[in-house]
Amino acid sequence: MIDVRRLRTDLEATEAALARKRVPAEEVRRAAKLDSQHRQLATKAEEMRSRVKALSKQVGDAMRAGGTGQGGTAREESRRAGDELAALEQQISVVEAQLRDAMLRLPNLPSQDAPDGASEKDNVVIRTVGYDPDRYGPHQRSPHWEIGTELQILDLERGAKISGSMFPLFRGQGATLVRAHCQLALDRNSDAFTEVRPPTLVRTAALEAVGQLPKFADDAYHLERDDLWAIPTAEVPLTSMRANEIIPEEELPVRLMAYTPCYRREAGAAGRDTRGLLRVHEFDKVEILAICRRDQAQALHAELLDRAVGSVTALGLPYRVLDICTGDLGQSHARQFDIEVYAPGCDMWLEVSSVSWFSDYQARRAAIRYRPAGGGPVQICDTLNGSALAVPRIWAALVETYRQSDGTIELPSCLHSYLRGSTSITGSVRS
RNA sequence: GGAGGGAUGGCAGAGCGGCCGAAUGCGAGGCUCUUGAAAAGCCUUGGGAGUGCAAGCUCCCCGUGGGUUCAAAUCCCACUCCCUCCGCCA
């Protein structure tokens, strides 16, 4: 969340900054009001508590001096003060809960550099690489769901039979290709990132830390019985790994990566992009993440973007990079770049990576701080993360792009070793 | 799933309902002594909040949340996590 103190010292500036994210000013002011209310009550309660303590001490002293029956007046007074205190605390807990909820729901301030805009239509294409609509032959204009069925490497019907629609089932070389993508992405980043295999079912606190809860509960799968949530991205467990820790400055930046399955209900997207692999409830992804000082964030953001672009380039896919405008920026995001690859078969740009800087928004929620090497107060960290590679859409673009006129798929060389030496997908799979 | 045991500061480890935000040891930092180092001695050493120009003052935190009490690290209840044993199991 954002720093409450901003609401006291820079209310108007905060309102203005959040207005860029189309947050109504009332929401900000409501939080500010709750905060001042809370402080007022808390100050009163502190005075009261201080009195109770002092009086209790008197009672104790009197009893030690004169035996058990002593301290009558002070005891009575303290009891009365204690009752008042209890009533105050009652009020405080109500205000506190409201304030907390209001703060958790306020989105992060957008970076100065993020372009203004109302919706995704206003995202800025920073660059487009390798895209030439005339270079594709007719054999590359089949959508991946048709190719997948033809080669028996994708079986959406059977996936649906098991789990419902939007739960894809890969098979044969198609399944191996999924795994190959993950291995490739992990290997490409192993020079600088520590691989983690985290749990994928997490507590509420973990989802709260990244900003997913309380606002977007409908988008996540929840296991009622055990009160656990299926992660929508590895960002969730990786961020919470360091929650409530004070990291020595020398350890920064912390660099982590993880391959995990990701689960999304896609509640708000019913009926959109439902064909094939364009939008699915469960998919594999390799995430890279950094925890750092504020002054390291910008360079790391650029590096994460480079690395994400690197995977796409290695696979030889045309792509473009979008600078996400304030109106389309996520709740926790200060600045965000998306990478889209071009899929010729369905003739669409597919979002395959989102590389984001959260400033201290997530770290404050998760209480991830660092201790400056030169002394001084503990500081809140910045967090960043990005998809190094998200499988199904890349899989789709790859299959469409590399389809040959005979219907087989010629694989880019960087994948050969991950497919047990295969250089192509021919569909000659055993059932 | 069953039976026990535990959770205290960076770590180890005391703690009688009041004098405990917390002994002691280790570690870390600073200083003194020394040509330098070691040893020794002295001092410092958690996080968070409020208020104040500041020095400061006040409050909260002994796994988490409730309760009892004039007063809770200490008593009671619930939960979480860890350990040991039994059972089950990839």
What distance in Å separates the CA atoms of residue A382 and residue A294, rounded to the nearest whole number? 6
Tell me the angle at which helices A25-66 and A72-105 cross, rounded to the nearest 10 degrees: 160
Task: Assess whether A71 and A41 both reside in one domain.
Answer: yes
Confirm whether A111 is domain-assigned. no
What distance in Å separates the CA atoms of residue A383 and residue A338, rounded to the nearest whole number? 17
Task: Assess whether A135 and A30 both reside in one domain.
Answer: no
Of A77, A105, A133, the last residue of a domain is: A105
Q: How many CA atoms lie within 13 A of A393 on its CB side?
A: 25
pLDDT value at residue A224: 83
Confirm whether A174 is domain-assigned. yes
ipTM comes to 0.83
Confirm whether A112 is domain-assigned. no
Task: Assess whether A133 and A94 both reside in one domain.
Answer: no
pLDDT value at residue A425: 96
Q: Over A387-404, what HEC string results?
A: EEEEHHHHHHHHHHHCEC
What distance in Å separates the CA atoms of residue A54 and residue A45, rounded to the nearest whole number? 14
Task: Assess whether A80 and A193 both reside in one domain.
Answer: no
Distance A60 CA to B71 C1' (A): 8
Digits of tens for pLDDT over chain A (431 positions)?
Answer: 899 999 988 899 999 999 999 999 999 999 999 999 999 998 899 889 888 988 888 888 888 776 655 567 888 888 888 888 888 888 888 888 889 889 989 999 999 999 999 999 999 999 999 999 999 999 999 999 999 999 999 999 999 999 999 999 999 999 999 999 999 999 999 999 999 999 999 988 889 889 888 888 889 999 887 888 999 999 999 999 888 888 888 888 999 999 999 999 988 776 677 789 999 999 999 999 999 999 999 999 999 999 999 999 999 999 999 999 999 999 999 999 999 999 999 999 999 999 999 999 999 988 888 888 777 778 889 999 999 999 999 999 999 999 999 999 999 999 999 999 999 999 864 44
Nearest DNA or RNA nucleotide to A47 (CA to C1'): B58
Of A48, A77, A105, the last residue of a domain is: A105
Number of domains in chain A: 2
Of A79, A105, A131, the last residue of a domain is: A105
Confirm whether A319 is domain-assigned. yes
Domain that holds residue A50: 4-105
pLDDT value at residue A66: 67
Confirm whether A76 is domain-assigned. yes
Task: Assess whether A130 and A82 both reside in one domain.
Answer: no
pLDDT value at residue A112: 95
pLDDT value at residue A429: 47
Confirm whether A110 is domain-assigned. no
Reading the block at residue A147, the tokens are 């190719």
CATH number of the domain encompassing residue A211: 3.30.930.10
Alpha-helical runs (H) found in A21-69: 25-66
pLDDT value at residue A244: 84
Task: Assess whether A93 and A133 both reside in one domain.
Answer: no
- In sequence order, the 6+-apart residues with CB closer than 8 A to the CB of A355 are A301, A304, A305, A308, A336, A337, A338, A339, A384, A385, A386, A387
Distance A95 CA to B56 C1' (A): 30
Residues with CB under 7 A from strand B: A 4-5, 39, 42-43, 46-47, 49-50, 52-53, 55-57, 59-60, 63-64, 71, 75, 78-79, 82, 93, 246, 369, 371, 377-378
pTM over 0.80? The answer is: yes
DSSP reduced 3-state for A269: helix
pLDDT value at residue A93: 87
Question: Can you say whether the dihedral through the CA atoms of A260, A261, A265, A266 is positive or negative?
Answer: positive
- In single-letter form, the type of residue at position A14 comes to T
pLDDT value at residue A69: 58
